[in-house]
Structure 1
């Protein structure tokens, strides 16, 4: 039986690509490129965020 849970929303800052590898331009002793792995700061590297809460009307 399928569950009726909503799918997680992709992060709007990284569009679901939560981790990137950036080449620094230098080479390691074995000849490979040195890279930095960076996580998205908005979703902390998960690639998705929780859905936005529904808007509530305040006042009259």
Structure 2
């Protein structure tokens, strides 16, 4: 029996992982690492892609 593709559209830029933590290389006073949280600019942190809307131009 054939398998169906998932119905959720996953963002092609982040592959469904919309937020990442990047270490800055420095440490806090308690010894933990300082990190930056970065979200995917394409999907705005949702992990899902919006279907492209095609506009008909002309006649």
TM-score by length of 1: 0.72
CA distance change for structure 1 residues 8 and 25 in 2, over 3 Å: closer, same or farther?
A: same
Runs of 4+ with >3 A deviation = 54-59
User: Alignment length, in residue pairs?
Assistant: 54
C-alpha root-mean-square deviation of aligned residues, in Å? 2.2
- Higher strand residue share: 1
Which runs of 5 or more structure 2 residues have no equivalent in the other structure?
1-5
Partner SS state of residue 37, structure 2: strand
CA distance in 2 between partners of 1:29 and 1:18 (Å) = 29
Which runs of 5 or more structure 1 residues have no equivalent in the other structure?
1-5
CA distance in 1 between partners of 2:41 and 2:18 (Å) = 9
> Is the CA contact (8 Å cut-off) linking 1:8 and 1:50 kept in structure 2?
no
TM-score by length of 2: 0.74
Partner of 1:33: 33
